């Protein structure tokens, strides 16, 4: 007579593992940084649990899964266990979480509550109520199947016996084996009977089974003579029975009497070596499946985003009325829509969030999207709608053309908000919302810069004061104080020693000469370039005297305040590429010169580490949204006259990864193309390594008429188009195609708009399009969106305007002649002196950031159109060494604006009932 074929779990599980190994390699090809992650959480230290866990970890390592064993002590409370589970649930690099049962704790713990705390999408054991419920309802494609029953099904498949239409009997109804086994067989179309301790005539029921699965936990309970001839028998039992012949005095048997069953069955699993190895293999299969689902759900550039519908009113209401009429999406939802993971987002209320920088690492192997910069012709004092066009364009690309798109804009300074200008959130039906949040504190980045900047200012004056009242030795002993009987340098002090060429780490070994060099910065008070800042338009701080109190012993000096956005720390924030890079840039900021001509840095003052700590949150970009629900990064807002006037490199880099290769990132450069765009290319793109695909140049009939000399006729408008022509040419110096966006106002005539478009094309623009996004939202900028999309496919051969190695004066001359149309430059005595100083100090090869009026191509604000035949006077040159540029001053630049007679704050108030901010616009 024939005995049953033995189904060996070891062999089947080896095949499963091989297949999984290939799957993991496949995922690595898709994303080299990706690894499936598994955490096994254990409470206590049971030997049997340790054995199972080591098997699981070994299998995971072999397949290429990153497995972690998380051990909690026996004393762990339910609260602590749940906290650990939450932590793993929120960690996006973990795809499977197993809670090893039983929980071996001295406290009473609700096992059901603990297993159900595991996120269903990470529950690779399949034990949560959600996964069990899905399985019992037949949603097999959307759940995790518990590992033992899943392994049993795999073993049944190996026999080649088809399950459909067969009679199956399951003995046992535990949630780990029996109950899910019943469901699996049922959804594989078997007719299933579940038997248990209360079943009458168990032998009779077993005799009807074509397929028999036993998991009851009673040694050798099922006898061979009960079994139907040729049946498939799967034995899940593990029981120990006494056996004198074994060294341990016992042996392992299943729930089926193997020897007799083998005579009846067609197929049978042995114990050990049957179901056991399959459980671990299926656990790994679930982990790999979970990782696959994660990768599919988080393909960069695969957005499932819903847009907000505008309810357009005519005439167009005020900006704040429009902003209020729209209910913003919860920011958490936008974050998910654009592919951010929950542990990469820090929520600041419901409408704004910060994004963690570690996302750059997660997405580093992804291709970037298309990069667009919005700039303008030389504006009128009112501005020509660059921000509004930026927002209108992204609303068009996103909500109307279904392209992934991000806007990256600057955070406005609070000074002008309460002064004369009002907000900078765009306008009409193309705005960032909620505009109150955008224009007021946002997430406190500008405050962080104020605090950091003023800490440096305090450090400079305190150091000069202490040096002037102490001997070298006393100074040294205070800078390196005795603590516990010994002196120790702090890491920042060791950096200073290294820069001085002193390779020592023990304070007692310095010579007298080294002590003097280390302890005395010897700052020349007249050389201090670092000012205090405030984010308010306060004209009375333009020149002040500090040190008037008697405690300062007569060490008074003249000083000034700047507006916070003019601080070099703001420029550093905008140009940095990582936390480490920001730490280095903050350390390199030069604040003064010593009496013997050495640059003094914040690192010399010992304050650079503290600055990094104050700026650690400000470095994370802020996520907001437009009126139509497209995502916006608001980050950094450097003053566009004396700094480079562009939002942050980090926001652009993250956005370019998130939108995917077919998507767009639209950023904006401050003022006209002669200032913001030139600095965007020569400074920002130099440091970011990013290459733009398209320049959008915003023009208005109103401004072009001003450049032509008056508001009346087409002739003057045509004359004024010379300014637009020059700015198109300026963009073309960098080898990037230009699309002109003619921002239409209701007073413009058809003839005027047509004239501007045809002149722009004649001047070499790739395309010129009229837009009505202020009145119509994204719908009014669809033609612009299509033009930008076409231009982004056109050939562009990007190049910088000048080489960094050129002498300082030559770089300034190239900008003046090529971009402004000057005949030449004239370095005035202060500027000449700085050229020599900075060249000697080693700063000669930094890019140039021109500080000049934005109201004319020349240095004289009232010269409109395209001024000719002028020499550009360079009054002085300053160095932002940390940010990484030199800024020549052309004319005088107020670095803190003043308030007018009737500032905007007259209209601003809070409604105490609704807490609404009124009168902001």
Co-location of 712 and 685 in the same domain: yes
The mean pLDDT of 9-37, rounded to a whole number, is: 92
Q: What is the CATH number of the domain that holds 486?
A: 3.30.1510.10
The mean pLDDT of 610-627, rounded to a whole number, is: 97
For residue 435, the model assigns a pLDDT of 87
On whether residue 919 sits in a domain, the answer given is no
For residue 424, the model assigns a pLDDT of 64
Cα angle 706, 709, 710 (rounded to 5 degrees) comes to 70
Co-location of 150 and 253 in the same domain: yes
Nearest to 580 by CA among 650, 639, 634, 636: 650
Co-location of 149 and 86 in the same domain: yes
For residue 714, the model assigns a pLDDT of 87
**Are 877 and 889 spatial neighbours (Cβ–Cβ below 8 Å)?**
yes
On whether residue 58 sits in a domain, the answer given is yes
Co-location of 259 and 377 in the same domain: no
For residue 839, the model assigns a pLDDT of 95
Buried b (16+ CB within 10 A) or exposed e, 478-504: ebbeeeeeeeebeebbebbbeeeebee
Higher pLDDT, 711 or 755: 755
**Are 796 and 693 spatial neighbours (Cβ–Cβ below 8 Å)?**
yes
Residue 219 burial by Cβ neighbours in a 10 Å radius (0-12, 13-18, 19+)? middle
Q: What is the CATH number of the domain that holds 130?
A: 3.40.50.720
Cα angle 10, 15, 16 (rounded to 5 degrees) comes to 95
d(CA 695, CA 764): 13
Q: Reduce the DSSP state of residue 652 to 3 states and report it.
A: helix
d(CA 283, CA 188): 21
Three-class secondary structure assignment of 478-545: HHCCEECCEECCCHHHHHHHHHCCCCCCCHHHCCHHHHHHHHCCCECHHHCCCCEEECCCCHHHCCEE
Co-location of 816 and 777 in the same domain: no
Q: Reduce the DSSP state of residue 653 to 3 states and report it.
A: helix
pLDDT at 665 over 80: yes
Co-location of 60 and 199 in the same domain: yes
697: CB partners within 8 A, 6+ apart:
375, 376, 377, 673, 724, 727, 728, 731, 738, 739, 740, 741, 760, 765
d(CA 881, CA 879): 6
Going by pLDDT thresholds of 50, 70 and 90, the confidence category of residue 423 is: low
The mean pLDDT of 909-913, rounded to a whole number, is: 89
Buried b (16+ CB within 10 A) or exposed e, 603-623: bbbbbbbbbbebbeebbbbbb
**Which of 289, 307, 329 is where one domain is finished?**
289
Tell me the per-residue pLDDT of 283-299, one tens digit each, with 9 for 90 and over. Answer: 999 999 999 999 888 88
**Which residues form the domain of 562?**
446-615
On whether residue 634 sits in a domain, the answer given is yes
Q: What is the CATH number of the domain that holds 828?
A: 3.10.410.10
Co-location of 607 and 562 in the same domain: yes
Cis-peptide into 357, omega within 30 deg:
no
Measured in whole angstroms, how far is the alpha carbon of residue 314 from the centre of its chain? 38
Going by pLDDT thresholds of 50, 70 and 90, the confidence category of residue 513 is: very high
Buried b (16+ CB within 10 A) or exposed e, 737-756: bbbbbbbbeeebeeebbebb
pLDDT at 99 over 70: yes
CA distances to 13, 301, 651 from 340, rounded to whole Å, are 36, 11, 14
Residues tagged active-site: 56
Nearest to 886 by CA among 808, 810, 830, 794: 808
d(CA 118, CA 133): 15
Co-location of 350 and 494 in the same domain: no
For residue 763, the model assigns a pLDDT of 95
On whether residue 373 sits in a domain, the answer given is yes
d(CA 573, CA 449): 9
Co-location of 864 and 784 in the same domain: no
Residue 645: how many CA atoms within 13 Å on its side-chain side? Answer: 29
**Are 195 and 212 spatial neighbours (Cβ–Cβ below 8 Å)?**
no
On whether residue 526 sits in a domain, the answer given is yes
d(CA 40, CA 61): 13
Q: Considering its fold, how many domains does the chain have in total?
A: 4
For residue 326, the model assigns a pLDDT of 87
Cα angle 201, 206, 208 (rounded to 5 degrees) comes to 105
On whether residue 719 sits in a domain, the answer given is yes
**Are 560 and 542 spatial neighbours (Cβ–Cβ below 8 Å)?**
yes
Output phi, psi for 885, to 5 deg: -160, 160
pTM: 0.88
pLDDT at 24 over 90: yes
On whether residue 781 sits in a domain, the answer given is yes
For residue 421, the model assigns a pLDDT of 56
Kindly state the helix (H) or strand (E) to which residue 374 belongs, with its residue range: strand 370-376
DSSP string, 703-743: HHHHHHT-SS-HHHHHHHHHHHHHHHHHHHTTT--EEEEEE
**Which of 745, 763, 793 is where one domain is finished?**
793
- Region of residue 183 (left: phi > 0; alpha: psi -120 to 50; beta: else): alpha
Kindly state the helix (H) or strand (E) to which residue 585 belongs, with its residue range: helix 579-588
Tell me the per-residue pLDDT of 194-218, one tens digit each, with 9 for 90 and over. Answer: 999 899 999 999 999 999 999 998 9
Co-location of 47 and 177 in the same domain: yes
Partnered with residue 590 across adjacent β-strands are 601
- Region of residue 723 (left: phi > 0; alpha: psi -120 to 50; beta: else): alpha
Percent of the chain at pLDDT exceeding 90: 79
Co-location of 381 and 335 in the same domain: yes
Co-location of 209 and 329 in the same domain: no
Tell me the per-residue pLDDT of 693-748, one tens digit each, with 9 for 90 and over. Answer: 999 999 998 888 888 887 777 888 889 899 999 999 999 999 999 999 999 888 88
The mean pLDDT of 805-821, rounded to a whole number, is: 97
Higher pLDDT, 367 or 31: 367
Task: Choose the weakest-confidence range: 249-258, 314-323, 758-767.
Answer: 314-323
Q: What is the CATH number of the domain that holds 647?
A: 3.40.50.300
d(CA 7, CA 233): 9
**Which of 594, 615, 636 is where one domain is finished?**
615
Going by pLDDT thresholds of 50, 70 and 90, the confidence category of residue 318 is: confident
Cis-peptide into 176, omega within 30 deg:
no
On whether residue 896 sits in a domain, the answer given is no
- Whats the size of the chain, residue-wise? 921
d(CA 620, CA 11): 51
DSSP string, 854-893: SSSSSSSTT--SS--S-EEEE-EEEEETTTTEEEEE-S--
């Amino acid at each position: 007579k024939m005995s049953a074929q033995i189904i060996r779990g070891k062999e089947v599980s080896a095949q499963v593992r091989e297949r999984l190994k290939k799957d993991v390699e496949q995922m690595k090809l898709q994303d080299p940084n990706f690894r499936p992650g598994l955490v096994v959480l254990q409470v206590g230290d049971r030997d049997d649990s340790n054995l199972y866990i080591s098997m699981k970890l070994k299998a995971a390592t072999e397949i290429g899964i990153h497995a972690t064993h998380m051990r909690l002590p026996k004393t762990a409370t339910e609260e602590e266990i749940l906290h650990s589970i939450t932590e793993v649930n929120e960690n996006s690099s973990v795809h499977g979480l197993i809670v090893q049962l039983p929980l071996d704790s001295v406290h009473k713990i609700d096992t059901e509550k603990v297993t159900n705390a595991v996120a269903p999408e990470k529950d690779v054991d399949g034990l949560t109520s959600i996964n069990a419920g899905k399985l019992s309802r037949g949603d097999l494609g959307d759940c995790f199947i518990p590992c033992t029953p899943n392994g049993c099904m795999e073993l049944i498949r190996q026999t080649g016996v088809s399950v459909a239409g067969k009679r199956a009997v399951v003995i046992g109804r535990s949630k780990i084996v029996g109950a899910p086994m019943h469901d699996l067989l049922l959804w594989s179309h078997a007719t299933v009977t579940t038997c248990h301790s209360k079943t009458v005539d168990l032998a009779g029921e077993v005799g009807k089974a074509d397929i028999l699965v036993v998991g009851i936990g009673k040694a050798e309970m099922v006898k061979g003579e009960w079994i139907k001839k040729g049946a498939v028998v799967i034995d899940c039992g593990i029981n120990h029975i006494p056996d004198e012949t074994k060294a341990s005095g016992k042996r392992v048997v299943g729930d089926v009497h193997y020897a007799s069953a083998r005579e009846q069955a067609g197929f049978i699993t042995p114990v050990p070596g049957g179901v056991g190895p399959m459980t671990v293999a299926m656990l790994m299969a679930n982990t790999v499946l979970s990782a696959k689902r994660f990768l599919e759900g988080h393909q960069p550039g695969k957005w499932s985003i819903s847009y907000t519908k505008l309810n357009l009113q005519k005439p167009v209401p005020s900006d704040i009325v429009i902003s209020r009429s729209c209910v913003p999406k919860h920011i958490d939802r936008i974050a998910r829509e654009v592919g951010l993971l929950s542990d990469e987002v820090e929520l600041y209320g419901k409408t704004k969030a910060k994004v963690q920088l570690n996302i750059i690492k997660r997405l580093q192997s992804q291709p970037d999207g298309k990069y667009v910069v919005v700039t303008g012709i030389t504006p009128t004092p009112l501005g020509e709608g660059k921000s509004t066009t930026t927002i209108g364009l992204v609303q068009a690309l996103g909500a109307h053309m279904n392209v992934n798109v991000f806007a990256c804009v600057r955070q406005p300074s609070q000074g002008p908000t309460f002064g004369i200008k009002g907000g900078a959130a765009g306008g009409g039906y193309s705005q960032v919302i909620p505009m109150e949040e955008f224009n007021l504190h946002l997430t406190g980045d500008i405050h962080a810069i104020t605090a950091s900047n003023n800490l440096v200012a305090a450090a400079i004056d305190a150091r000069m004061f202490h040096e002037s009242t102490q001997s070298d030795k006393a100074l040294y002993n205070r800078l390196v104080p005795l603590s516990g009987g010994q002196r120790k340098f702090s890491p920042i002090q060791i950096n200073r020693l290294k820069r001085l060429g002193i390779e020592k780490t023990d304070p007692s070994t310095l010579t007298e000469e080294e002590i003097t060099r280390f302890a005395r910065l010897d700052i020349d008070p007249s050389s201090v370039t670092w000012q205090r800042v405030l984010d308010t338009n306060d004209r009375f701080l333009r020149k002040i005297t500090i040190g008037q109190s008697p405690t300062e012993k007569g060490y008074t000096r003249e000083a000034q305040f700047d507006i916070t956005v003019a601080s070099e720390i703001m420029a550093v924030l905008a140009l940095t590429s990582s936390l480490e890079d920001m730490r280095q840039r903050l350390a390199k900021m030069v604040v003064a010169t010593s009496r013997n001509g050495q640059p003094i840095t914040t690192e010399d003052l010992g304050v650079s580490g503290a600055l990094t700590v104050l700026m650690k949150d400000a470095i994370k970009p802020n996520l907001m949204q437009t009126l139509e629900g497209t995502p916006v990064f608001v980050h950094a807002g450097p003053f566009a006259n004396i700094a480079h006037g562009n939002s942050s490199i980090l926001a652009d880099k993250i956005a370019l990864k998130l939108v995917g290769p077919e998507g767009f990132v639209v950023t904006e450069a401050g003022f006209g193309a002669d200032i913001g765009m030139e600095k965007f290319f020569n400074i920002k793109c130099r440091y970011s390594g990013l290459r733009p695909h398209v320049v959008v140049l915003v023009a208005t009939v109103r401004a072009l008429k001003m450049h032509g000399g008056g508001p009346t006729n087409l002739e003057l408008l045509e004359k004024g188009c010379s300014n637009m022509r020059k700015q198109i040419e300026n963009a073309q110096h960098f080898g990037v195609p230009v699309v002109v966006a003619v921002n239409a106002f209701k007073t413009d005539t058809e003839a005027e708009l047509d004239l501007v478009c045809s002149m722009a094309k004649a001047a070499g623009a790739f395309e010129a399009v009229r837009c009505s996004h202020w009145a119509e939202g994204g719908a009014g900028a669809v033609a612009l969106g299509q033009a930008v999309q076409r231009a982004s496919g056109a050939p562009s051969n990007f190049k910088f305007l000048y080489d960094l190695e050129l002498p300082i004066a030559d770089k300034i001359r190239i900008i003046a002649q090529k971009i402004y149309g000057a005949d030449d430059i004239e370095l005035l005595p202060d500027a000449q002196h700085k050229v020599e100083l900075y060249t000697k100090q080693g700063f000669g090869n930094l890019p140039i950031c021109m500080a000049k009026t934005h109201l004319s191509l020349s240095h004289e604000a009232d010269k409109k159109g395209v001024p000719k035949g002028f020499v550009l006077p360079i009054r002085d040159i300053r160095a932002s060494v940390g940010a990484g540029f030199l800024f020549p001053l052309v004319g005088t630049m107020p670095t803190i604006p003043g308030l007018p007679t009737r500032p905007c704050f007259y209209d601003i108030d809070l409604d105490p009932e609704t807490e609404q901010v009124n009168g902001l616009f």
